[in-house]
Amino acid sequence: GDSVTQMEGPVTLSEEAFLTINCTYTATGYPSLFWYVQYPGEGLQLLLKATKADDKGSNKGFEATYRKETTSFHLEKGSVQVSDSAVYFCALILYNTDKLIFGTGTRLQVFP
Amino acid sequence: EPEVTQTPSHQVTQMGQEVILRCVPISNHLYFYWYRQILGQKVEFLVSFYNNEISEKSEIFDDQFSVERPDGSNFTLKIRSTKLEDSAMYFCASSERVGGNTGELFFGEGSRLTVL
């Protein structure tokens, strides 16, 4: 079935370090791909998305490229800040369906 | 900025009791959802709701669960007879269009349910 696998956390980094959170997917059709973020005490927020192969989603310095050949959508940021500390969820959805399929989430902790 | 609000933020209940979790979606949204996350596990889809009826549900969403939109603003999830394994964080979400066509689901902060 359709699924999303993302790296286990927590990921612990110093401020200004480079971030990669890996995400791979399995899908029967052609999904759209997303990264959601959950800051402490808040709901899930859409961070970025990509709807077709080779699209790059970007927001707040974060980027992810839809790689169909490797079925991946890795999240990257060149220089993390303490305020980026949160849980990051990779997700997919198939066209014309209601169901977002999430990964387990990866907690990022950034220290000054 | 419009947001999805959920109440209560945390509820503790005894096994076998009925629980109602409440959500106020964003006012111009037409599609409503419940998801849940058992501690340490994935966020899982439970149900979607459009035009006053369920449009899709998962295998988790059995006869113990029900949803309704009683007054045009609230969207509720009822668990009739809670089990220990229902302990989880429950997220409500809403969207303007079918999720798969935009991907933009707006989520609430979640309601943590603890069943003892």
- CB-CB contact of A2 with A101 (8 Å): yes
Tokens of B31: 């599609």
% chain A with pLDDT above 70: 100
Measure the CA–CA gap between B87 and A22, rounded to whole angstroms: 29
Residue A44 to residue B43, Cβ atoms within 8 A:
yes
Mean pLDDT of B36-57: 90
Band of the pLDDT at A44, cuts 50, 70, 90?
Answer: confident
Indicate the length of chain A as a whole number.
112
What are residue B113's phi and psi, to 5 degrees?
Answer: -110, 125
CA-closest candidate to residue A67, choices A58, A83, A56, A77: A56
Amino acid letter for position A83: S
Lowest mean pLDDT among A48-52, A69-73, B26-30, B102-106: B102-106
| CB within 8 Å of chain A, chain B residues 24-83 | 31, 33, 35, 37, 40-45, 48, 55-56, 58
Residue B28: predicted pLDDT: 86
Measure the CA–CA gap between B47 and B34, rounded to whole angstroms: 5
**Under 8 Å CB-to-CB from B76, ≥6 apart: which residues?**
B20, B21, B22, B23, B67, B68, B69, B70
Chain-wide mean pLDDT for chain B?
A: 91
How many alpha carbons fall within 13 Å on the CB side of residue B89? 17
B13 or A95, higher pLDDT: B13
Is pLDDT of B102 > 70? no
Hey, is the C-beta of A96 within 8 angstroms of any chain B C-beta? yes
